[in-house]
Amino acid sequence: MEEQIIRTEYADVMQKSYIDYAMSVIVARALPDVRDGLKPVQRRTLYDMYELGIKYDKPYRKCARIVGDTMGKYHPHGDSSIYEALVVMAQEFKKGMPLVDGHGNFGSIEGDGAAAMRYTEARLQKVTQEVFLRDLDQDVVDFVPNFDATGKEPEVLPVRLPNLLVNGSEGIAVGMVTSIPPHNLGEVLDAVKAAIKNREITTKELMKYVQGPDFPTGGIIINKDELEEIYEKGTGKIRLRGKVEVEKGKGGKQKIVITEIPYTMMGANIGKFLNDVANLIETKKAPEIIDISNQSSKEGIRIVLELKKDADAQNIINLLYKKTRLEDTFGVNMLAVCDGKPETLGLKEIIEHHVEFQFELANRKYQNLLKKELEKKEIQEGLIKAYDVIDLIIEILRGSKNQKQVKDCLVNGTTEGITFRKKSSQKEASSLRFTERQADAILEMRLYKLSGLEIEALEKEYEKTLKNIETYEDILNNYSSMARVIIKDIDSLKKEYAKPRKTVVENAEEAVYEEKKMEEMEVVFLMDRFGYARVIDRTVYERNKEAADKENRYVIFCKNTDKICIFTDAGKEHLLKVQDLPFGRFRDKGTPIDNVCNYNSSEEEILYIEALETIRQSCLLFATRHGMMKLMDGTEFEASKRMVAATKIGENDRLMLVAIVGMEDHVVLQSKDGYFLRFALSEIPIQKKAALGVRGMKMAEKDELEAIYFLRQNENEEPEDQVVMSREKEVHLQKIKISKRDSKGTRPR
């Protein structure tokens, strides 16, 4: 065979390959089908359990057995994805209606993982068996070849309720994500009934039945008025709050008890919530809380916060809503696979797809039932007819040589080769015209069926068959009849499986926290050479002054209501509130500065730290390695953000100095090549943040500033001489000639 070389653009090949991969992930892995609300891995796992006979009234089977069988037959994508799907379908706190009955450790609401699959066991829930898998033997859905074409699997399960809404779904595909909240089964079924009765129903009318999502963890939805728009578009944000109660404790103290949490707070976020509350206490934002305890158990969530006597409990609750995940948002994006492609659906569209699917299932089911009844009718008519000519049939049987002759006579009236006792019998036999199916039934009939009682029962059964045929034809030919059957099924499902709503839906006011005015006090900010910062009382500092000055890189006097400004060589200003820093004893370690502001020690270096109150009343000098300098008024650095640009710097340049200066000072610039330039600070203009500044010193191309010195000019006193080393020589800064800015300077001999 000759080799064929196909010439094409590499970009086109990559584009096609990536699109094929993306669509495979979207349709075959990450997104649920709108008809049964299941992802492929969930569908295959449930079908495999059905095939293995692991029913709700049968013993549990090891999850490892289920996972292995599913992976080998239907889902060759690794055991972890199958087991994770199995675990989630068994977790009551994640699913509105669990589909798997788990036995063993299947994880907890606090984020504990399930035990390994070799330890846990599972079986189908009753609802799964009766509502998701019941009619699989009725040929109501198509079966497709599995991944290696050695078997078949259902394209979709014949689910009789809108599982996409009841259990919701979460999944990340390529370039898209689905996030559908769970809903109350009873409400959704009522909405489906309404949609069947009124095919022009609107989203607003459907919401008379579906109040909103119903999360397994309960909680409170607080933006009821926004739900209609969310359900109309299929996207939006639902605001959730935990359920909080105030209980009386001993000694007149109160307790804030959290009994339900937002759905988004499940898992590790419960631990994070407790840490956030502890942090509020540490930073003195919630000093009224004296103890936190997580008393949650299998019975439910119970997180208790004990308060000081006379504390304002409602104000603390509002603080928790504002500063923790006790109030959170659930992002809704109702994306599902419709007709083989992903589509964002509103509430109405999802219910319409479900109704259409139910009519399709019912149509196929009753077509098959009608077909079976028609076959049964044909056989019954043949047997009744045979009873009337039973003597002739017996004579044919006696006179024939084999079964083929008998069947040929019964179907076509062929009498050749058959011996008859009477010629009239032969003539009568030649007029027989049974169908093939009737002839087979007659030949397989046992003699006891010839008794009078059996014939009577057959006639009654025949009447029943005729009624069934009439019923099935009516269902298939009339929309109202089929709708009546589906609604009857919905009513039975609601009666057996519906549960009361857990999540409250209301319009709540914005949580307003009245922050108590902090008592102002003098404190000292300490930061060691490792970047750990803390705040101590001024009197504590005075007692440990020598050790504090020796062990810390920065010691700044400020107030607890102040902010600390951190200037870095990247030209950034980081602001942090003093009250956000741990306040305590002198020997406390403190917290890394990176944790309380946006400073990144791997990308920038701290040049200067000072209290905002001090900076506000000062003038700051900024200088870069390339010799650009400017003065800035301290009021420029008041900001509400945690990080702002302190100044503009040129390309490939870095800030080398930030300092508070007095306008009567002189400045001495020293370059790496050993040049010194002295001039008055008044020559540097006061500019804004967006300015690059002016050149302080002319330097050679590869030269840059190495150091900057300040000479304090005091007319009443002789200025103190400063001596620095340059090229192994002493340089007396006071003796350097005063020049103008933007000159080359001198190199001392």
The residues carrying an active-site annotation are 119
Alpha helices in 167-264 (DSSP H): 185-197, 203-206, 227-233
CB atoms within 10 A of CB 295: 11
Residues with Cβ within 8 Å of residue 135, at least 6 apart in sequence: 158, 361, 365
* Three-class DSSP category at 518: coil
Residues with Cβ within 8 Å of residue 138, at least 6 apart in sequence: 158, 364, 365, 368, 369
Backbone angles phi, psi at 305, to 5 degrees: -115, 115
Q: Which two tokens stand for residue 587?
A: 């020997």
Distance CA 570, CA 559 (A): 27
Contact 126, 137 (CB under 8 A): no
Distance CA 711, CA 624 (A): 19
Half-sphere exposure of 536 (CA within 13 A, CB side): 21
Distance CA 74, CA 66 (A): 11
Distance CA 359, CA 321 (A): 46
281 sits in the region (left: phi over 0; alpha: psi -120 to 50; else beta) called alpha
Q: Which two tokens stand for residue 501?
A: 């709503």
Of 196, 125, 127, 188, which Cα lies nearest the Cα of 162? 188
Distance CA 438, CA 442 (A): 6
User: Is residue 80 within a helix (H) or strand (E), and if so which, with residue range?
Assistant: helix 79-90
Distance CA 656, CA 472 (A): 89
Backbone angles phi, psi at 731, to 5 degrees: -120, 120
Distance CA 556, CA 565 (A): 11
Backbone angles phi, psi at 607, to 5 degrees: -105, -35
For residue 591, what are the β-bridge partners?
533
Cα-Cα-Cα-Cα dihedral sign, residues 606, 608, 613, 618 = negative
CA gyration radius, the chain: 42
Q: N- to C-terminal Cα distance for the chain?
A: 87
Helix axes 423-430, 390-399, angle to 10 degrees: 100
Q: Residue 183 class from Cβ within 10 Å (0-12 exposed, 13-18 middle, 19+ buried)?
A: buried
Distance CA 332, CA 297 (A): 30
- The full length of the chain comes to 749
